[in-house]
Amino acid sequence: MLKNIKIAFLIFVSICSFKLAKGQNKTENDSLAYYTKRFITATNQYSYFPDNSYYVYSKCYNYFKKSNNYEKAAQSLYQMSDYKKAKGKTSKAFELLWEALYYVEKTNNNALKAVIHRKISFLYDFFNKTQESTYHFQQALNFSKKIDIVKGSDRQQLNANYLNLASRKRNAGDFLQAMIYLDSLEFSKNMVSNGNYVYVASRIEKANLLINLKDPEKTAKILYKLKSDTDKKNTKHKTKIYFALGELNKSINQSDSAIYYYEQSLKFIDKLNFNVMLLPKVISELANQYVHKNRARKAYFLLKERIRITDSINNLRTDAYADLFEIKNSYLESIRKKDNLLEEKNSIIEEKEETQFLLKLVLALVILITIIIIFIGKMRLKLRKTILEKKQTELQSTLNKQKIEAKMELKSKELTSYALQLIDKDSAIDDLLNVLKEKAPSSYKSLSNKYKKGAENLWDEFNLRFTEVNSEFYTRLKEKHPNFTPTEQKHCALIKLKFTTKEMARILNIEAHSVNISRSRIRKKIGLKRSDSLETYVTNL
């Protein structure tokens, strides 16, 4: 089993390594970082190379859409919408914005939601649809208020909404409220130095408001500063800056300067192909200046061009307005279809996930039960083996003990037999000595001394053989009764072998009476009662 787990682990590691290697082989041109970098570059170059930026945005959108990066997909779409709006293709701009709105609603980016609603509001303004414009502008304002305005980029969304409110109030003739909204704008030093789009647009709006308030001095200061900052840049702000300068010079009756700046505005509208919707107004104001300069022919051709452009724009509005509702309806229908499809997919996914969960649960239970069965089987086998080994050990121990006991018993019997033989031999010698004592008194004395010397060595020889048979007896006796004398230890050894008093006296070469006294002393030291057997106690040691 362990071997199979190791094999499965090696296969898993191999698959992961293969996928990692495959991922590393992807080119940089197919990564989020690559397209994000392209998007930022296109945005920075948009004012100078709008056509190229639009192409990059479309490529980025396709990638972000494919990778389900809804936030960046929406950003790409609204940038593409700005391009189409500047080209005068409002219906396409609407289509792109509605699609951007669909994607941004899938995110939590309130700043991006504010941008898209505000841009939709601008397009509704173009068609004079005040109610729709107001609704989307209010949505933009609501989302802006939800943003943490500590960040500069987030503050910009709120600034853009206040700028839009100021422009609406100025067009409605409420100049005081328009100035209040403009004064509410906040820009960081970095925004000002980098010519932030909203910052520049707010300065142009303030200049237009000051023209309405008859304050040419402050207006000139703002506009000429903006002109100086943008002289070497082909930014789309130039069309509005030059138009505002034309309005300023018109307000102070400087017709020649007004004509110059109006013509500059027309020049940059044509050159940059931006703010096309401003054309009729610029041409109308320029024509009025030529009338004022008594150049009727020039004014006539300009007014004729204005009528042509106005008719074109009106036709565009009519066509685009029809397209608008078609786009909106198709958008709503697309939303419904996508929502229904999403619900179906979610339902299928939920069913699959539930089925997969049940399968995984069943598989996990099967694996768990299998492991438990294997574990229990191994444990039972191990337990049986342990019990068997224990029984074998106990049996072997019993056999060994029995062998030892049998051997000890045999040796004890041999020892006892040996001792008895010595006693019998010693008894026979005593009888012979008694006969010699009567028959040959002269030989008796020498033989008697010789016998007594041999009798004294009898115990030493017996004790040596006893120790060989009962090697641990003296050790246990000394541990339990350390106060026993050597003589008492000898008596205990003979008691263990079940010798009688007479036999003990013979072996120890003492009187029987002395043996009895020693036995009494031993019982007293041990603490035995009268009913207790000394032989039993000593034998069990």
Burial class for 289, CB neighbours closer than 10 Å (0-12, 13-18, 19+): buried
134 Cβ contact list (under 8 Å, min separation 6): 121
Q: Which of 258, 312, 252, 245 is nearest to 285 (CA)?
A: 258
pLDDT at position 73, please?
A: 92
Q: Which of 104, 139, 174 is the last residue of a domain?
A: 139
Domain match, 135 and 172 both: no
For residue 13, which phi and psi values (nearest 5 degrees)?
A: -60, -40
483 Cβ contact list (under 8 Å, min separation 6): 525
* Residue 95: inside a domain: yes
List the chain pLDDT tens, one digit each, 541 residues.
444 444 444 444 444 444 444 444 444 567 889 999 999 999 888 877 888 999 999 999 999 988 889 999 999 998 998 888 877 777 788 888 888 988 888 888 888 888 888 888 877 877 777 788 888 888 888 887 777 544 444 577 778 878 888 888 888 888 888 898 888 888 888 888 777 778 888 899 899 999 998 999 999 999 888 888 877 665 778 888 888 988 889 889 898 888 898 888 888 877 766 666 677 888 888 888 888 888 877 777 777 777 776 666 555 555 555 555 555 555 555 665 666 676 777 778 888 888 888 888 899 989 999 999 998 988 888 888 888 888 888 888 888 877 776 776 666 666 666 666 666 666 667 667 677 667 767 666 666 666 655 555 666 666 777 776 676 777 888 888 888 888 888 888 888 878 888 888 877 778 888 888 888 998 888 888 888 888 888 888 7
Q: Which of 65, 61, 58, 157 is nearest to 116 (CA)?
A: 157
Domain match, 205 and 274 both: no
Q: Rounded distance, CA 88 to CA 525, Å? A: 130
* Residue 79: inside a domain: yes
Q: Which of 268, 294, 320 is the last residue of a domain?
A: 294
pLDDT at position 156, please?
A: 75
Burial class for 269, CB neighbours closer than 10 Å (0-12, 13-18, 19+): buried
* Residue 12: inside a domain: no
pLDDT at position 353, please?
A: 83
pLDDT at position 64, please?
A: 92
Burial class for 89, CB neighbours closer than 10 Å (0-12, 13-18, 19+): middle
CATH of the domain at 43: 1.25.40.10
Domain match, 491 and 461 both: yes
For residue 158, which phi and psi values (nearest 5 degrees)?
A: -65, -40
Domain count, the chain: 4
Q: Which of 263, 294, 325 is the last residue of a domain?
A: 294
> Buried b vs exposed e over 146-182: b needs ≥16 C-beta within 10 Å?
ebebeeeebbbbbbbbbbbbbbbbbeeeeeeebbebb
Contact 299, 287 (CB under 8 A): yes
Domain match, 193 and 244 both: no
Burial class for 340, CB neighbours closer than 10 Å (0-12, 13-18, 19+): exposed
125 Cβ contact list (under 8 Å, min separation 6): 133
Contact 183, 205 (CB under 8 A): no
173 Cβ contact list (under 8 Å, min separation 6): none
Domain match, 531 and 428 both: yes
For residue 356, what is the DSSP state? Answer: H
Domain match, 206 and 225 both: no
Tokens 């409220």 found at = 177
pLDDT at position 63, please?
A: 93
Other Cβ atoms within 10 Å of 86 Cβ, number: 20
Domain that holds residue 221: 215-294
* Residue 401: inside a domain: no
Domain match, 429 and 530 both: yes
Q: Rounded distance, CA 271 to CA 433, Å? A: 161
Domain match, 241 and 253 both: yes
To the nearest 10 degrees (0 to 180), the angle between helices 110-126 and 130-145 is 160
Domain match, 78 and 120 both: yes
153 Cβ contact list (under 8 Å, min separation 6): 111
Mind giving me the DSSP string for 42-109? HHHTTTT-HHHHHHHHHHHHHHHHHTT-HHHHHHHHHHHHHHHHHTT-HHHHHHHHHHHHHHHTTS--
Domain match, 426 and 530 both: yes
* Residue 153: inside a domain: yes
* Residue 516: inside a domain: yes
* Residue 228: inside a domain: yes
List alpha helices for 70-215, DSSP H: 70-86, 90-104, 110-126, 130-145, 152-171, 175-183, 189-193, 197-212
* Residue 307: inside a domain: no
For residue 278, what is the DSSP state? Answer: G
